[in-house]
Amino acid sequence: MYRFPSILIPLSVLIFPEQGFGADKALGESRYNESCVSCHGQAGKGAASYPKISGNEVSYTTAKLEAYREGIKQGPNSALMIMMAKPLSDEEIENLAAYLEDAKYEVD
Ligand code: HEC
């Protein structure tokens, strides 16, 4: 009798291939609030000289963070971001990018 293979490709990979393997927005949000909110503000809305980083495609944010992690300068203040991106794992970058894509700042 035919048995299903025990390892199935998660449906999300087929439907959202650009989001990578199981990107987790909730984990991305908690990582964001741990290390990024102090400069980039609530939900990545930007603050003073720190750029707005929400509302960009997952692929854009992922590419930026990977470049910073490799120590590649992107703008005039890259030193700060290179320092911040160094410790990020691939998974953390995916989660952060997924969270930031449509993170919203609610004014109360
Ligand atoms: C110490 C302040 C600081 C912290 C903390 C910080 N950033 Fe940044 N970030 C910056 C600055 C400054 C830039 C612009 C750097 C440049 O000129 O290249 C930047 C740029 C970026 C960019 C590129 C924006 C663009 O469109 O070019 C992304 C994405 C980003 N940060 C994500 C993050 C994430 C995710 C975290 C948390 C892991 C984080 N940042 C933590 C200061 C910070």
CATH class for the domain made up of 20-101: mainly alpha
- Ligand 1 centre and the CA of 31: distance in Å? 14
* pLDDT, tens digit (0-9, with 9 covering 90-100), for 33-85: 999 999 999 999 999 999 999 999 999 999 999 999 999 999 999 999 999 99
Neighbours of 86 (CB within 10 A): 11
Please give the model's pTM, rounded to 2 decimal places.
Answer: 0.85
Name the residue with the closest Cα to ligand 1, atom 36.
36
Report domain extents, the chain: 20-101
The pLDDT of residue 98 is 97
Q: Indicate if ligand 1 lies below 6 Å from the C-beta of 43.
A: no
Q: Residue 16's pLDDT is what?
A: 56
Token couple for 54 = 């929400």
Other Cβ atoms closer than 10 A to 98: 25
